Structure 1
């Protein structure tokens, strides 16, 4: 392991806005994000597979009246967002280091007001369907954690994953699909994202890939 990674891991251990194994808060955080981490009653937005946290931090800048949590297993990635948030004095940002399939261990029923799934691995092979973050397995896991009026956003460059997700959501009776587009940056909602892009979104956009986006609610 490189010296740089070791230094980042050490800083993650010290940074209060990183919740990870080995910290006392890690085992107590479920149902207690507002009291133990943020110490306020603001609604919580969660971003899955947040990577370096560009989107989590970007949204937190725009919406100081909300709390934001980026989730990723890669400690060297979330270190970036964590240190930026600390440098800017942002108290409404935190990062959870865990595998997403373990999410229900860290969020209680109705604890999440808004969920973002941004540019996840598409897992294109049929045999890997259950690993997709928009598969029935994951949707069923998210549902209890999200408030009844909470919105789920999904953004990707991958047409196959987007079409799979769109067809799946349209087939579910417990989903209200409120918007979808195969070309987000020509849609009427593009300004709602304030130009915030993840690292991967910028790479794909610069290559001319159209960005797909949808949002829905569980009913």
Structure 2
């Protein structure tokens, strides 16, 4: 392991806004994000596979009345967002170092207000469907963690993954599509994101890829 990575890991261990294995809060944070980590009752907004945290930190700057949590397994990546948030005095930012499939170990039922899925690995092979962050397996995990009428945002450059997700949501009786577009930067919704882009969004946009966006929520369904 490089010296730089070791130094970043050391800083993560000392940073209050990084929740990771080895820290007491890592085992007790479920249901306690607002009271213990943020010490307020503001809504929780979670970004999955946040990478270096550009989007998480960007949203936190724009919306000081909400709390933002970036989730990623790579400590050297979340170190970047963590240090920027600390340097800018953004107390409404935190990072959780864990695998996405373990999300329900760290959030209680109804604890999340909004969920962002930004440029995930498309896993294009049919046999890898269960690994897609918008697959039925993951949707069933997200559903109880979101508060009533909680929102899921999904952005990707990958047409196959977007069409797969859109069709999946359209065919679910417990989901309501709020908006969607196959060309986000030529749509009425672009200003809602305040020009905030992830590393991959910048990369794909510069290559001329159309950015797709879907916003939906789970709705109450009465049993038949």
TM-score computed with the length of structure 1 as normaliser? 1.00
Q: Deviations over 1:59-87 (max 9, x none)?
A: 00000000000000000000000000000
Q: Give matches, 1:169-208, under 5 Å.
A: 169-208=169-208
- The residue number in structure 2 matching 1:64 is 64
1:146 matches 2:136? no
Q: Deviations over 1:115-173 (max 9, x none)?
A: 00000000000000000000000000000000112110000000000000000000000
Helix, strand or coil at the partner of 2:45:
strand
**2:28, 2:187 → 1: CA distance?**
41
Helix, strand or coil at the partner of 1:94:
strand
- The residue number in structure 2 matching 1:12 is 12
**2:48, 2:180 → 1: CA distance?**
19
Helix, strand or coil at the partner of 2:82:
helix
Q: Aligned pair count? A: 219
Q: Deviations over 1:196-215 (max 9, x none)?
A: 00000000000000000000
1:38 Cα deviation from its structure 2 partner:
0.4
Helix, strand or coil at the partner of 2:108:
coil
**2:36, 2:20 → 1: CA distance?**
14
Runs of 4+ in 1 over 4 A off after TM superposition: none
**1:103, 1:9 → 2: CA distance?**
22
**1:39, 1:7 → 2: CA distance?**
29
- The residue number in structure 2 matching 1:92 is 92
**2:195, 2:186 → 1: CA distance?**
13
Which runs of no fewer than 5 residues in structure 2 stay unpaired?
Answer: 220-224
- The residue number in structure 1 matching 2:222 is none
1:58 Cα deviation from its structure 2 partner:
0.1
Helix, strand or coil at the partner of 1:101:
helix
Structure 1 vs Structure 2 CA RMSD = 0.4
TM-score computed with the length of structure 2 as normaliser? 0.97
**2:190, 2:88 → 1: CA distance?**
26
**2:186, 2:209 → 1: CA distance?**
13
Q: Give matches, 1:147-166, under 5 Å.
A: 147-166=147-166
Which runs of no fewer than 5 residues in structure 1 stay unpaired?
Answer: none
1:2 matches 2:7? no
